[in-house]
């Protein structure tokens, strides 16, 4: 009798779990894009970082050229976050600059950081962001992406569009967002383009850099993760473009491991096992 009761309880629990999983898949598939730019909500600045950027823009709008010193109260960690991620700053969301145009040093009294900003290079960074954003807005309009579009359909449309309009740059000299939008880039450009378009329409799209592995080779690689409903999926538009199957590496569950180097390992390649 007890065994029968336990069996029924176990069966009920299993059916409940299956039901939850099915409903989760349905919710994920039905989730719509918000069309709310995620750059503004995803990248939160500290007060010190915000003060630095406001000061910098104030000097920039004055038409300052050359090197301008901006005294800040930022910590080293806050400083490095801006230096190595300039796209977190409003006005640079779509920039080609991979590093914020500056050098920096700690104040002699230890009260903060002095940023030596190159205003000439900052102008180029801001202009590239503005130019790229205009092109991305045109792409969104061309793909007819709206609040009625499901997240899954949006990802598929962006994937197909980038495959159709980009060819791989075997010289490996073109890797920026603008290169992708012009039609020739490496894996980095494919990933940056998806990230930029995705974030603009409200997708939780991320740029992932690490090691790409196949059964025959391994090397530096870039791809994307994206949230579909509550589920994190992975996609590699660059590799989709290199195969006859444009959806082979699209919305996979993905397997990510961490090497001792700290880089994630991309395991969409065949015949790969990491122990």
Distance in angstroms between the alpha carbons of the first and the last residue of the chain = 44
* Residue tagged 């159709």 (tokens): 164
Task: Identify whether residues 93 and 179 lie together within a single domain.
Answer: no
> Does the structure show a pLDDT above 80 at 111?
no
- Please give the share of the chain, as a percent, with pLDDT higher than 70: 80
Highest mean pLDDT pick, 91-100, 220-229, 246-255: 91-100
Q: What is the pLDDT of residue 8?
A: 47
> Does the structure show a pLDDT above 50 at 275?
no
Residue 208 to residue 200: CA distance in whole angstroms: 18
The HSE-up count of residue 132 (CA atoms within 13 Å, CB side) is: 29
Q: What is the pLDDT of residue 97?
A: 97
- φ, ψ for residue 89, nearest 5 deg: -95, 135
Task: Identify whether residues 111 and 193 lie together within a single domain.
Answer: no
In a domain? residue 47: yes
More confident residue, 255 or 235: 235
In a domain? residue 135: no
Of 182, 134, 132, 145, which is closest to residue 162 (Cα–Cα)?
A: 182
Going by the DSSP 8-state scheme, the letter that residue 95 receives in this structure is -
CB 67 within 8 A of CB 119: yes
Task: Identify whether residues 180 and 80 lie together within a single domain.
Answer: no
Task: Tell how strand 184-185 and strand 67-71 pair up.
Answer: unpaired
Task: Identify whether residues 92 and 148 lie together within a single domain.
Answer: no
Q: What is the pLDDT of residue 269?
A: 46
Q: 72 pLDDT band (50/70/90 cuts)? A: very high
Residue 87 to residue 176: CA distance in whole angstroms: 13
CATH classification of the domain holding 147: 3.10.620.30
Task: Identify whether residues 256 and 184 lie together within a single domain.
Answer: yes
> Domain boundary residue among 94, 127, 160?
127
pLDDT digits (tens, 9 = 90+) for 176-228: 999 999 999 999 999 999 999 999 999 999 998 887 776 677 788 888 989 99
Task: Identify whether residues 116 and 155 lie together within a single domain.
Answer: no
Q: What is the pLDDT of residue 250?
A: 86
Which ranges of the chain would DSSP assign to H, the alpha helix?
2-30, 38-42, 47-61, 76-84, 119-142, 151-165, 177-182, 187-200, 237-242
Task: Identify whether residues 114 and 163 lie together within a single domain.
Answer: no
Residue 121 to residue 94: CA distance in whole angstroms: 15
In a domain? residue 2: no
> Does the structure show a pLDDT above 90 at 170?
yes
Domain hosting 198: range is 143-266
Task: Identify whether residues 85 and 187 lie together within a single domain.
Answer: no
Structure tokens at 23: 């409903």
Domain total of the chain: 2
Residue 68 to residue 79: CA distance in whole angstroms: 16
Residue 46 to residue 82: CA distance in whole angstroms: 11
Reported for 81-85, long-range contacts at CB under 8 A and 24+ positions apart, including other chains, are 81/49, 82/49, 82/52, 82/53
Residue 158 to residue 257: CA distance in whole angstroms: 27
Task: Identify whether residues 150 and 262 lie together within a single domain.
Answer: yes
pLDDT digits (tens, 9 = 90+) for 133-153: 999 999 999 999 999 999 999
The dihedral through the CA atoms of 196, 202, 203, 207 has a sign that is positive
Task: Identify whether residues 249 and 148 lie together within a single domain.
Answer: yes
In a domain? residue 159: yes
* Residue tagged 């301008």 (tokens): 68
In a domain? residue 137: no
pTM: 0.82
> Domain boundary residue among 127, 160, 192?
127
């Amino acid at each position: 009798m007890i065994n029968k009761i336990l069996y029924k309880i176990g069966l009920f629990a299993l059916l409940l779990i299956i039901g939850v999983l099915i409903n989760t898949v349905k919710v994920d598939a039905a989730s719509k894009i918000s069309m709310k730019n995620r750059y503004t909500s995803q990248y939160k600045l500290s007060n010190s970082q915000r003060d630095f950027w406001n000061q910098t823009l104030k000097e920039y709008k004055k038409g300052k050229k050359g090197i301008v010193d901006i005294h800040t109260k930022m910590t080293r960690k806050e400083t490095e976050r801006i230096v190595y991620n300039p796209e977190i700053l409003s006005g640079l969301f779509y920039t080609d600059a991979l590093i914020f145009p500056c050098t920096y040093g700690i104040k002699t009294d230890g009260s903060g950081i002095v940023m030596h900003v190159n205003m000439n290079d900052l102008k180029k960074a801001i202009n590239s962001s503005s130019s790229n954003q205009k092109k991305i807005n045109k792409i969104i309009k061309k793909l007819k992406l709206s609040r009625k579009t499901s997240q899954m359909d949006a990802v598929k449309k962006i994937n197909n569009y980038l495959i159709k309009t980009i060819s791989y740059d075997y010289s490996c000299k073109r890797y920026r967002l603008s290169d992708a939008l012009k039609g020739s880039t490496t894996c980095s450009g494919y990933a940056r383009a998806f990230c930029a378009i995705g974030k603009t329409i409200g997708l939780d799209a991320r740029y992932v850099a690490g090691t790409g592995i196949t059964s025959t080779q391994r090397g530096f690689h870039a791809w994307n993760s994206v949230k579909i409903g509550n589920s994190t999926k992975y996609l590699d538009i660059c590799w989709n473009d290199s195969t006859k199957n444009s959806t082979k590496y699209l919305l996979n569950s993905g397997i990510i491991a961490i090497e001792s180097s700290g880089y994630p390992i991309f395991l969409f390649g065949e015949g790969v096992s990491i122990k």
